[in-house]
Structures are given as structure tokens and as C-alpha cells.
Chains A and B, each alone.
Chain A
Amino acid sequence: MAATPALPLDDAGPYVAAAYLVFLALILIYVAIMATKLGRIEREISELSEIVERREREGDGTEEREEERV
């Protein structure tokens, strides 16, 4: 089996192309997964920002009420 003669270029081309495409596909899939994760992180950050803003608004409202009471 090891001594099988070399494939002509026409026959070998698709195999070589397939191997390099597998490599590229793996990298692209990985980058796509990372992009999804990045999107999730961005969503979470905006959620946390909203929570912090809401707290700050509530904090301001409480301070104003306390000032009015005083």
C-alpha cells in the first residue's frame, strides 16, 4: 500500500483542496462560535449597564425624597 504510485495532478487536486478547506473551515467555524460568544458578552454588558442605570435613578429618587422630608 505504501508503494502506491503517485496520483496525477487532476486526481490529487481535489484531495489537497479538501484537506486545506477542512483547515480553513475549522478556523472559520471557531471564529463564528467566538463571534456568537462576543455577541452574548455584549448583550450581558448592556443588561448590566441597564441595571446600574436603574439603580442610579432609584438612588437619585430616594435622595430627593429624603431631602424633601428634611
Chain B
Amino acid sequence: MTFGRGLRALSIASAVLVTGAFALVFFYASNDADQGFVQKIFYVHVPLAIVALCGFVAGGIFGIKHLRSGERADDLRSYVAIHISLVFAVGVLITGSIWARASWGHWWLWDEPTLVSFLIVFLLYACYQPLRFSIEDPERQARYASVFAIVAGAFVPLNFLAVRMAEQLSHPRVLGTTGGSMPGDMRLTFVVALVGVTCLFVTLWKYELASKSASIQLRSLRRRLAGDDGLAPLTRSAAPQQL
């Protein structure tokens, strides 16, 4: 199975789109009337958040596919989607904190539902790797991880809806009413940034899939040769070890 197909085109597209988005942010999009220049953080923070949450849901969808078909590749796809979403979520938390400090004078607000709910989602998925690592049998590991990915993946949109219904304190509901009235230059910049970050996510996802697949195939070759050459057996890992 090859995961690296189309990686070159995707990498170029990501580089062009992300660079283009940054150029639009600083040279095209006008400053926000309310927040001024600091609102530019919006173009990196919000796309990262949307893509990270969609990545978690995608992890759940691949989890369903894995449970239905038993295909190990789907478990790998789910694992990598969640792994990269976690990296993006770290970015969301840090950029969000910086923006909060600049806008509200605080790094974090514990009474703001949007912030706390995102932290809960992040911490929930932070348990995914330890869960996988705690299960030695690869079959059970893949199955339990898929169940976790599905349950947590279903929690993400529910959590999003709950936050929408909650009282708004400091954090704006950007893509609700406010997003609808974004000026044209801001909207175009946001859309390009969103597409760029999505493209970057898919590129990193495929990149990691190709790397993991190569490692798994190498390990399988090593094991086939191990009988005669005394190579080390499989070590325990949170990542899928078979395809």
C-alpha cells in the first residue's frame, strides 16, 4: 500500500497557499475596526481550530471504517489524523492564549465556555496515545483505539453545539453572525488561510502515513530476517505496527 501518492503536488500547493494566505493577511486584509492589528491572529488561530476539530472527527470516521472492514490501514489513518490534529490543537491553544492576552489582558479565562471546551477536547485526545500504548495486543489496540476515536469524534460536534448555545462571555462566535458580516477582503483572506491550513493538514497526514507505512514494512522485513540474524523483536508502541 502506498500512501505517498500525490504528496509532491500537495506539498507545493500547501506552501503556495500558506505563503499566499500570510501575504494576504499582512498586505491585503484591512485592520479590524474593533481590535486593530492584533485581530490578524484570527487568520491563523481560527483555521487551525477548525482543521484540528475536523481532523478529530476524521479520526472517528476512519475508526468506523476500521471497525467495519478490519483494515489495518484505516486504523493507521485514524491514528495519524488524531496525531496531527493534536499538534494543530497545541497551536490553537498557544495562539489563542496570545490573542487573549493582547485583547482581554489575560492568558486564559476559566469561565469562557469556548476556551474551556476546547481544552477539554484537547485533554480528551491527549489520552488517545497513552490508551494505545497501554494495550499490548495489536488487534485489541487497534479496536479499542477505533472505539475511542468514534466516541471522542462524536463528542466534538456535540461540544461545538453546546458552546454555541452557551452564553457568550468574551470569546466571539466568529462564524455565526459576525462571520456573515466580514468585509470582502477579510473573508477572502480567511478562506485562503482556511484552505491553506487544510491543505497543510492533508500534506502532513499523507507525509506521516507514508513514513509510518515505510517503518511498518521495514519492521516486517526485519522480522522476516530475524530468525537467522538475531535482530530485535517488535517493541511496544502506541503507533500501529502492522498493515
A: residues with CB less than 8 A from B are: 1-2, 4, 6-9, 11-13, 15-16, 18-20, 22-23, 26-27, 30, 34, 37-38, 40-41, 44-45, 48, 51-52, 55
Q: Which of B199-243 contact A (CB under 8 A)?
A: 200, 204, 207-208, 211, 214-215, 218, 221-222, 225, 228-229
- A48 close to B218 (CB less than 8 A): yes
Query: Which chain A residues lie closer than 8 Å to B34 at the CB level?
Result: 6
- A6 close to B35 (CB less than 8 A): yes
Q: Which of B44-62 contact A (CB under 8 A)?
A: 44-45, 48
Q: A2-B170, A45-B218 are in contact. Are A15 and B211 (CB under 8 A)?
A: no
Chain B residues within 8 Å of chain A by Cβ, number? 42
Q: Which of B67-120 contact A (CB under 8 A)?
A: 87-88, 90-91, 94-95, 98-99, 101-106
Choose among A12, A30, A51 the residue that contacts B229 (Cβ–Cβ < 8 A).
A51
Q: A1-B104, A41-B211, A51-B225 are in contact. Are A19 and B218 (CB under 8 A)?
A: no
Q: A6-B38, A51-B225 are in contact. Are A19 and B214 (CB under 8 A)?
A: no
